[in-house]
Amino acid sequence: MIQCKVINNANHTLEERESLSGTVYIADEEPHVFLQTCNRIELYWGEGTIPEDIIRHLFRVASGLESALIGERAIQGQLKNAYLSACAKYKLPAPLHKLFQTAMHTGKRVRTETKIAQGAVSHSQVTVDILKKEQPDLRQKAVSIIGVNKITEDILKFLTDNQTLTVFLSNRNFEKAARLAATYNGTAIPLQEKKCMLDFTDILITATSAPHTIITPADIPPNKELLIFDLAFPRDVEPSLARRKGIKLYDLESIEGFAKANLQQRTQEIRHAEAIIEEEIAKLSLSLHKPFPNNQFSTIL
C-alpha cells in the first residue's frame, strides 16, 4: 500500500517544521519520492493500492491549495523535480508513477480551468511588496543577497528596475554568484567573507538550501540597523536577531502573513479547484479498477 508522511505549514509552525524535519526518514535503498519546499516535507513510498486521502492531499498540493500562498506556481516545478529525481534514482512502483503523474496533470488542469493562479503571489513578489511598504530609498542602500535561485533572481530584477546601485551577491558556489552578479551589475562576494559584506549592508535577503543557520549575531556589528528577509527553510538567519534593536527580520511565516490579505481572488476559486480534484480522483479510481482503501495518511504531530 502507498504510504505518506507529511510535515507542513497547515499543522506546524516554522520552528516546529525545522525541529521535525529530521524525523521524516526512510532507508535510502527504499524507492520513494521526497518533496521538500519552504512549507512542507513529504515522503511517499510503498506499493499496491493508493489510499484516497493520500491522493486527495497530493492533488491539493499540486494545485496550490495547500500552499501558504494559495495558488502559487512554484509547487508545480518542485513536485515535478521531486518526482523526476526519484525516477532517476529508483525503479518506482507503478502506483507511485500513476499517483505523481496524475497529480501533475490535476495541478495543470486547476491552473488552466480556474483563476486560482491569476495574479498569484510568490515569496519573491511578497518580499518586493514589503520592500515597497518599507519605502527605503534603494538608490541609497546597499543590498546583499545570499543564495542563487529563482527567488533571488526575481528580486534582483526588481532591484535593477528600481535603480539599486549597490548589490552584493554571495553563494556557496562563488561562480554561480559571479555569473548572476554580472547579469545584474552586482558584485559577487565569497560566502566566507559574509561578515565583511554585512558591515556595509542595509538590506539582507537570504534564500539558501543550507541545513543550518548561516547568519548569526556574531556576523552583524552591534547597533547596526538592518532589514532582513529570510526566505529559507530551514531558516538562514538566527531568530534571536529579531530581538536586537535596529534589526527588522521577516521570516517565511511573517512574509506569508503579509500576503494573506491579498488572496481573496484566489480563495474564491477554491471550490472550482476542489471540484476538479474530485473529478480526477474518480478517474484515477476507475483507471486502477479497484476502490480506494482506508486512511493511510500520516501527519507527524
HSE-up (13 A, CA, CB side) for residue 89: 13
What values do phi and psi take at 167, rounded to 5? -130, 120
The amino acid present at 68, given as its one-letter code, is: A
Active site residue 196: no
Helix axes 150-161, 123-134, angle to 10 degrees: 30
**Distance (Å, rounded) from C-alpha 81 to C-alpha 35?**
9
Provide CB contacts within 8 A for 27, sequence distance 6+: none
Given the residues 4, 38, 87, 196, select the one marked as catalytic: 38
User: How buried is 266 (Cβ within 10 angstroms: 0-12 exposed, 13-18 middle, 19+ buried)?
Assistant: buried
Q: How many CB atoms lie within 10 A of CB 105?
A: 15
Nearest partner of 63 among 208, 299, 286, 280, judged by Cα: 280
Q: State the residue for C-alpha cell 495558488.
A: 71
Phi and psi dihedrals of 71, rounded to 5?
90, 0
What is the Cα–Cα distance from 244 to 145, expressed in whole angstroms? 21
What distance in Å separates the CA atoms of residue 291 and residue 227, rounded to the nearest whole number?
Answer: 54
Contact between residue 227 and residue 134 where contact means Cβ atoms under 8 Å apart: yes
Q: Nearest-CA neighbor of 43 among 101, 83, 84?
A: 83
Q: Which residues are catalytic?
A: 38
